[in-house]
Amino acid sequence: MGDKTLIEIKNLKMYFPITSGLFLQKSIAAVKAIDDVSFSIRKGETLGLVGESGCGKTTVGKCILQLYRPTHGEVLFEGNNLCQLSNKQLRPLRQKLQVIFQDPYESLNPRFTAADIIGEPLKIHGIVRGREYRKRIEEVLDIVGLAPYMVNRYPHEFSGGQRQRLGIARALALQPSFIVCDEPISALDVSIQAQIINLLDDLQREFDITYLFISHDLSVVRHISNRVAVMYLGKLVEVADRDELYKAPLHPYTQALLSAVPIPDPAVEAQRSVIVLKGEVPSPINPPSGCVFHPRCYKAFEPCPTVVPQLEDIGDGHYVACHLYPTPQYEV
Amino acid sequence: MSTLLQVRNLSTYFYTQDGVVKAVQDVSYEVAKGETIALVGESGCGKTVSALSILRLIPEPPGKIVAGQVMFDGTDLLKLSKGEMQQIRGAKISMIFQEPMTSLNPVLTIGRQLTETLEFHQGMKRKDALNEAIGLSKLVGIPHAEHRVKDYPHHFSGGMRQRVMMAMAISCQPQLIIADEPTTAVDVTIQAQLLEMIRDITNTLGTSVILITHNLGIVARYAQRVYVMYAGRIVEQGPAQAIYHDPRHPYTIGLLASVPRLDEPRKVRLAPIEGQPPDLIFPPVGCSFCPRCSQANSSCQENGHELVEVAPGHFTACGVACKELRHGR
């Protein structure tokens, strides 16, 4: 794993307009799904992106892949700003940027066989032809742990875990360098989850793939990620190396999230105290002023409701957006 | 502690076009007064069906409770008439369902849904019931309860809907609450809020709880005794401490080993349970975990359903684990 940056996201914003009116639709408000998010992903690493539902993690993934065209900001991949490319210009790059979706029941076309599902991207990009085509499909199936005789099966003939393997095979077919894993295991059973995590791990090592691993399961994210980014209401609140983040979380939201994860051990649980956050996640249409977390924060103080905290490096690549941790420039 | 509910040798089958699905087979468990037990297992292992069988909410057909007894406070619920059963549901045993999005009636206000139980079971007048409903809503932490009881379920967020379910469940001060994956549909921080609240309220009222979940962490935090289910049967049961610290059944061991833990050093590799859960129309002969089990030997295909006590109160259905015990481990 090198220090080379593969993908860089700068000041990314994604606003979804809320329209009113039947014929003359005019925008009356906007859902600020992502509001000014910047981070980078290094080559060969896994960046975990955690947060609660509706915080914008999936939108970040889709913006990187240009499945949503961001309202503002840059997505730099191999020197190209993806946001400025046309769909036609993007097409050759899409080979290298793939995705694994959350729900293996909905993300596979029920009328396609396994061969069609894996083969479609190969056909579109015109990678292999004739006999090679079949061979490549069987090869990919084998890589993800499915048997070659399953090529003519339809999605409903596979179990949940196998379907997710099929989703992974589809992403792998084009030999991508970057895969967005959008909650790839949350629809699976506990005993199957570990199988898929190990598979993703193996593939990364074998093919040198970079992952953006989106999940709400903090234990799984710790297992698979090198670095972790925490999102809350469309903003990044903390980014740090995995061990650092789990050992010494700085942002009160990260601290609450970690304390809320139950540990499968009654003796440990009896000793732990949970930080129970008050209230619920506010609406991204009208987010709170200042720090978006301040209405629920148990450490909020005077500047929080008014001043927006910036995501600042407080040392060793540990970024946090919280007024509790002033960066040196404020201490003048 | 005296026993409140005793499920004995319960079997529930579903008669489908493809064959008979043996969703729950020969399951026995008991809940003492004021106790919280957990039914743990993966989807399709029969945890929900066994709980629905207690309340006789299994759709018939295709489902049918084919054998067993459900002794609640001295009466067998399976022998009651429909009318008598209605007096139990909601009043003495209530249920919190998994999906707050689909288990509330979308065309009735929250207030109406809360008062229905109160009027039916406690014979309250509409007005008193509404006041009581507002009080309950406040108790479960719904802000501005006076106004919100006039709202419809779609006005509420997922976490708030689950609070409404909770208010409904405790409205008649039942002796037993069955919480079926109460927090699977909500986020971690809301999950913590809800579970802490369920614990506080049931502790105050002395209510027993059957907690159904696949989340081993939640079980560790809230349950006193644990029943592990696999393929329609209970494979291991015992005090939470014993299940987590001294699991005997290979399935329990595998399940605990396959989840990454926040409090332990990061493992380089997870240890998954290979293979898939079996098809319950054609379950494997003998022990149903046998095809996925690393410890399996030839005897596993012949027996392995019987729960054997390996330590006080700790039972396991694994023949191999029991044999080890006989040889003095």
- Find the mean pLDDT for residues A18-42: 86
pLDDT tens track for A252-292: 999 999 988 888 888 888 888 888 888 888 888 888 999 99
Residue of A nearest to B230 (CA): A191
Per-residue pLDDT, B285? 80
Identify whether residues B68 and B193 lie together within a single domain: yes
Residues of chain B contacting A191 with CB distance shorter than 8 Å: 42, 254-255, 258, 272-273, 277
Per-residue pLDDT, A170? 92
> Final residue of a domain: which of A123, A146, A175?
A175
> Residue A41 sits in which domain range?
5-96+176-331
Confirm or reject contact between B107 and chain A (CB < 8 A). no
Per-residue pLDDT, A14? 92
In this prediction, residue A230 has a pLDDT band, given cuts at 50, 70 and 90, of very high
Residue of A nearest to B141 (CA): A279
- What Å distances lie between residue A303 and A234, A321, A323, B248, B273, CA to CA? 20, 13, 7, 54, 50
Confirm or reject contact between A269 and chain B (CB < 8 A). yes
Identify whether residues A115 and A222 lie together within a single domain: no
Identify whether residues A37 and A154 lie together within a single domain: no
pLDDT tens track for A49-62: 998 888 888 899 99
Per-residue pLDDT, B273? 86
Longest Cα–Cα distance in chain B = 68
Please name the member of B190, B254, B263 whose beta carbon is closest to the beta carbon of A263: B263
Please name the member of A195, A223, A256 whose beta carbon is closest to the beta carbon of B189: A256
Confirm or reject contact between B133 and chain A (CB < 8 A). no
Residue of A nearest to B191 (CA): A260
Identify whether residues A124 and A234 lie together within a single domain: no
Per-residue pLDDT, A269? 85
- Find the mean pLDDT for residues A143-166: 88
**How long a stretch of residues is chain B?**
329
Per-residue pLDDT, A22? 76
Which residues, listed in sequence order, are joined to residue B176 by a DSSP beta bridge? B93, B208
Longest Cα–Cα distance in chain A = 69
Identify whether residues B18 and B61 lie together within a single domain: yes
B228 inside domain: no
Distance between CA atoms of residues B191 and A195, nearest Å: 26
| Whether B261 and A52 lie within 8 Å, measured CB to CB | no
Distance between CA atoms of residues A164 and A103, nearest Å: 8
Helix axes of B126-139 and B110-122: crossing angle, nearest 10 degrees: 120
| Whether B260 and A220 lie within 8 Å, measured CB to CB | yes
Per-residue pLDDT, A332? 40
pTM of the predicted model over 0.90: no
Identify whether residues A180 and A162 lie together within a single domain: no
Identify whether residues B301 and B188 lie together within a single domain: no
Identify whether residues A144 and A205 lie together within a single domain: no
Identify whether residues A54 and A197 lie together within a single domain: yes
Identify whether residues A166 and A181 lie together within a single domain: no
Q: What number of H helices and E strands is found in chain A?
A: 10, 12
Distance between CA atoms of residues B224 and B221, nearest Å: 9
Confirm or reject contact between A281 and chain B (CB < 8 A). yes
- Find the mean pLDDT for residues A74-98: 90
Identify whether residues A22 and A65 lie together within a single domain: yes
The CATH number of the domain holding residue A299 is 3.40.50.300
Identify whether residues B179 and B49 lie together within a single domain: yes
Confirm or reject contact between B297 and chain A (CB < 8 A). no
Please identify which residue in the block is written with the tokens 């109406």. Answer: B112
> Final residue of a domain: which of B183, B200, B223?
B223
Helix axes of B188-205 and B158-170: crossing angle, nearest 10 degrees: 10
Distance between CA atoms of residues A304 and A324, nearest Å: 9
Confirm or reject contact between A255 and chain B (CB < 8 A). no
Identify whether residues B61 and B198 lie together within a single domain: yes
Identify whether residues A148 and A213 lie together within a single domain: no
A105 inside domain: no
> Final residue of a domain: which of A175, A203, A222?
A175
Distance between CA atoms of residues B313 and A81, nearest Å: 64
A144 inside domain: yes
Percent of chain A with pLDDT over 70: 97
The long-range contacts involving B241-246, CB below 8 angstroms and separated by at least 24 positions, are B241/A266, B241/A267, B242/B311, B242/B313, B242/B314, B243/B314, B244/A264, B244/A265, B244/A266, B244/A267, B244/B220, B245/A265, B245/A267, B246/B311, B246/B314
The CA distance from B260 to the nearest CA of chain A, in Å, is 6
- Are the beta carbons of A111 and A120 closer than 8 angstroms? no
In chain B, which residues have pLDDT < 50? Answer: 328-329
- What Å distances lie between residue A40 and A13, A90, A316, A321, B298, CA to CA? 15, 20, 15, 16, 54
Confirm or reject contact between A265 and chain B (CB < 8 A). yes
Per-residue pLDDT, A37? 92
Instruction: Please tell me the total count of domains within chain A.
Output: 2
Confirm or reject contact between A263 and chain B (CB < 8 A). yes
Confirm or reject contact between B269 and chain A (CB < 8 A). yes
A36 inside domain: yes
Which residues, listed in sequence order, are joined to residue A19 by a DSSP beta bridge? A27
Residue of B nearest to A201 (CA): B269
> Final residue of a domain: which of B187, B203, B223?
B223
| Whether A223 and B266 lie within 8 Å, measured CB to CB | yes
Residues of chain A contacting B256 with CB distance shorter than 8 Å: 264
B193-221: b or e for each residue (b if 16 or more CB lie within 10 Å)? bbbebbeebbeeeebbbbbbbbbbbbbbb
Identify whether residues B88 and B132 lie together within a single domain: yes
Per-residue pLDDT, B207? 92
Residue of B nearest to A190 (CA): B42
Residues of chain A contacting B216 with CB distance shorter than 8 Å: 190, 264
| Whether A260 and B188 lie within 8 Å, measured CB to CB | yes
Residues in B 184-203 with any Cβ partner in A closer than 8 A: 187-193, 196
The yes-or-no verdict on residue A308 having pLDDT over 50 is yes
Per-residue pLDDT, B279? 82
Per-residue pLDDT, A330? 46
The CATH number of the domain holding residue B45 is 3.40.50.300
Identify whether residues B205 and B242 lie together within a single domain: no
The CA distance from A254 to the nearest CA of chain B, in Å, is 11
| Whether B258 and A193 lie within 8 Å, measured CB to CB | yes
Residues of chain B contacting A261 with CB distance shorter than 8 Å: 188, 217, 262
Per-residue pLDDT, B288? 84
Confirm or reject contact between A186 and chain B (CB < 8 A). no
Strands (E), chain A: 5-20, 26-42, 46-50, 72-77, 80-81, 97-100, 178-182, 210-215, 227-232, 235-241, 312-313, 319-320
The CA distance from A126 to the nearest CA of chain B, in Å, is 35
Identify whether residues A133 and A236 lie together within a single domain: no
B315 secondary structure, DSSP code: E
| Whether A269 and B263 lie within 8 Å, measured CB to CB | no
Identify whether residues B268 and B187 lie together within a single domain: no
| Whether A222 and B266 lie within 8 Å, measured CB to CB | yes
Per-residue pLDDT, B238? 93
Identify whether residues B211 and B306 lie together within a single domain: no
> Final residue of a domain: which of A124, A141, A175?
A175
> Final residue of a domain: which of B192, B223, B254?
B223
B40 inside domain: yes
| Whether B218 and A262 lie within 8 Å, measured CB to CB | yes
> Residue B20 sits in which domain range?
3-223
Confirm or reject contact between A136 and chain B (CB < 8 A). no
Please identify which residue in the block is written with the tokens 């993690």. Answer: A57
Identify whether residues A147 and A160 lie together within a single domain: yes
Number of Cβ pairs closer than 8 Å across A and B? 126
- Exposed, middle or buried, B230 (CB in 10 Å: 0-12/13-18/19+)? buried
Residue B288 burial (CB count, 10 A): 26
Please name the member of B189, B192, B269 whose beta carbon is closest to the beta carbon of A198: B269
Identify whether residues A157 and A230 lie together within a single domain: no
The yes-or-no verdict on residue A43 having pLDDT over 80 is yes
Instruction: Please tell me the total count of domains within chain B.
Output: 2
The CA distance from A290 to the nearest CA of chain B, in Å, is 22
Identify whether residues B237 and B312 lie together within a single domain: yes
